[in-house]
Amino acid sequence: MHNLDLLPVIIGVGDMSDRPDKGQSGLEPLRLIERAARLADEDAGGGWLARLDRLYVVPQLTWPYSDLPGMVSSALGIAPTVVPTEGISGDSPVRYLMQAAVEIASGQSVATMICGAEAFGSLRAAAAQRKSPEGWTPGGKAAALIDGSAYVTKLASKYGLKDPTEVYTLYENALRAANVQTAKQSTAESAALWAQYAEVAASNAYAWDRAGHDAAAIQTASSKNRPISYPYLKRMVAQLYVNQGAAVIVTSRAAALAAGVSASRLVYIGSGAGAADIDDFLSRPGYTECLPMALALSETLKANGLTAQQVDAAEIYSCFPCVPKLALKAIGGLRAGVAPTVTGGLSFFGGPLGDFMSHAITAMTRVLREGRANTGLLYGNGGYLTKHHAAVLLREPPQSMPTNLELNAAVAEQRAGTQPATLLDEYEGPATVETYLLKYDGSGDPHSATIVARTPEGARTVALIHPHDYRAQALLINGEREPIGLPGSIALVNGQMHWRFDDAVLPPVGAPGSPVLLERRDGFVAVVTLNRPLRMNAVNARLARAIAEIIQLTEADPDIRVVVLASSRPEVFCAGLDLSALSNPRALQELVAVEGGFAGFVNAVRRKPWIAAVRGQALGGGFELALACELIVAADDSAFGLPEVKRGILAAAGGVARLPRVLPRNLAAQAILTGEPMSAKLLHGHGVINALAPVDQVIDEAVALGRRIAVNAPLAIGESLTLLKASIDETDAELSRRSMEAGARLMGSADAREGGQAFLEKRAPVWKGR
């Protein structure tokens, strides 16, 4: 029989979600904590701040305070014992709650407050205005949000595995393969799971994002939901740029009742458990399960006499989808109808770094008080799936005093028979993919890729994929083949390990996931699609290099005789030069270095005709790409123009030179000098555009035109195209000479003999291209 009077209970909770007006500085973390603490005191009936004898302040990163716990105590006019805390870790509020509960149950403490806050939303707003937040406590410049290199080994940092968005995808990708899921299935699972979090956030007054995104919106890339690291989009990762604070007051049942707190408002703290994994994630046994997490959760449920199916409400930590996936798998899932969150999760409620679970505690307290649940499971994760702590809150008194189990010894015991991974800092030779990271840049382009590999002897190592290896990048992200388990090799290049897939496993040039897509249609026609949809297919060095590579391939392939150039977005063909390159000298230098002129295309040597299939706008460089093609098929409502003069530059990629060749002089001058767009119908009337079609038929119409060309002799097409291009720049005499030479070459070809024979035999010719 236990003493009900000593049972620890939560009596007061307070939340702050600060959204300052534009241009105004929001509350600093100290003030967020102060206000949340006063709200918690008010929620408890008042007078509790003066009774506090323990204070836990969750470490924060927003602002460099010299002594935040002391400043909190001073701001509140209290003098409790400050309990030492360590570092930023997402499990810490749950861990502190259980420490406080055990102290109260043992009579070591009368009343404890756990509080914390972050205000990176205000910091980012101030940085955008190039100023420091006004009125904040003097203390110097704030540190960068997260410098992951301080938390990982030199090997991990060297190979791009340092920030949470980089490390957690190692687990996500490995988990997908272990579950024998396709990329589409795994992403759909993540989106459906996250939609549950978003739905809860939509009805939470303290949530940062209350839009209630559905699964489709969560898994669809857009300018507001850009890719971060495969397979995660922005809405699948923690939202750190928030201003949020929380406070929780804990005391004993007896003290609460004696102070007049209604029994109906008490929320009991059950038992909890915690465990930690190996700090260096590269030295862990694998990435498809997490033993410390599983033990913390299962032992917590066991200590409270519960199964997962008996839990009425839960907050399963949600910095990235792999975390609740692993957690729910470890406990066998929650009962149907029980959401994995009471807050809305770190993507939608907000992710104030180590303090998020304080908000989970406050939200769970309200859920239990309101009778929406009787038992609530809390699970927090810290580090890189490193630290784990779980606890149970109850509407009714538990059957025993709370315990707080530390399970590190149990983790070590269960792993006693497992050999730790042998980690190689340097290696050359064959290997297979164990898991991987592909990180995107701010424009949605693949930026860097890291392979975590196993050698034939079972050792683990890491290697980078060259940023220009588009086929390898496509293999990692297009979902057409599972990359994990595929063979490759590692070579040392200037002291750094570089990965290459075996050629046999690589997708073809232009496969899905590439910056330029290549689709072969029947009738010797290929469709090449510009594939930077989030940047409206604007041209950067990556896109230009891919186009140049596609030109080489199509020129060398006898089964491709005509190429259609299309876009991945129906509302825009190409937005021209990616203007971000103008402010980045290195990016601009890389773009200029690509052979073939602008986009690797406008001055490229080609002997096969290209047809621009233009939908939407083709302005600036987009119009220049179309003009560099031999033919144009356009949507009825498309628009063309050279607006460069409006930006203080000119259409130097062939626009100013080519437009007067295809338009009357004065009309071309008007377009070039005003920068105003022209309609497709106007250009069609002057013969610049070969055909108009409804927007949904443009590509098919262009392919049909390509087939009408491709039925002819490929050598004759090539020679004719060469002379056609030269006709603008060369004299009639020179053109006559070149025509005679070309004619002589053709007369001796096998295709010329086949053409005559087929005509006599009244059949379609079979061209060989020789």
Integer Cα distance of 192 and 216 in angstroms: 9
Integer Cα distance of 419 and 62 in angstroms: 40
Cis-peptide, bond into residue 8, ω within 30° of zero: no
Q: What is the DSSP letter of 770?
A: -
458: part of which helix (H) or strand (E)? Answer: none
Specify whether 624 is catalytic.
yes
Cβ atoms of 384 and 168 within 8 Å: the answer is yes
**In a 10 Å sphere around its CB, with 0-12 CB exposed, 13-18 middle and 19+ buried, how is residue 144 labelled?**
exposed
Q: Distance of alpha carbon 689 from its chain centroid, rounded?
A: 39
Spatial CB neighbours of 127, under 8 Å, sequence gap ≥ 6: none
**Other CB atoms within 10 Å distance of the CB of residue 458:** 9
Residue 270 has phi, psi (to 5 degrees) of -80, -150
Between vectors from CA 624 to CA 622 and to CA 626, what angle results, nearest 5°?
75
Regarding beta strands 243-252 and 8-17, do their DSSP bridges make them parallel or antiparallel, or are they unpaired? Answer: antiparallel
Q: Kindly list the distances between the CA atom of residue 333 and the CA atoms of 193, 291, 302, 328, 676, in Å, as whole numbers in the listed order.
A: 12, 16, 15, 5, 60
**Other CB atoms within 10 Å distance of the CB of residue 360:** 29
Closest among 528, 504, 296 to 390, alpha carbons compared: 296
Regarding beta strands 81-82 and 54-57, do their DSSP bridges make them parallel or antiparallel, or are they unpaired? Answer: parallel
Catalytic pick among 103, 172, 434, 624: 624
Integer Cα distance of 170 and 484 in angstroms: 11
Give 598's strand partners: none
Regarding beta strands 562-567 and 54-57, do their DSSP bridges make them parallel or antiparallel, or are they unpaired? Answer: unpaired
Integer Cα distance of 711 and 714 in angstroms: 8
Strand, helix or coil at 707?
helix
Q: Distance of alpha carbon 174 from its chain centroid, rounded?
A: 17
Integer Cα distance of 467 and 284 in angstroms: 28
Q: Kindly list the distances between the CA atom of residue 286 and the CA atoms of 295, 331, 354, 619, 626, in Å, as whole numbers in the listed order.
A: 16, 19, 25, 50, 50
> Which token pair is 152?
């990982």
Integer Cα distance of 482 and 180 in angstroms: 9
Specify whether 457 is catalytic.
no
DSSP secondary structure letters along 25-46: ----HHHHHHHHHHHHHHHTTS
Integer Cα distance of 548 and 600 in angstroms: 5
Catalytic pick among 644, 701, 754, 761: 644
Integer Cα distance of 510 and 527 in angstroms: 10
Annotated catalytic residues are 624, 644
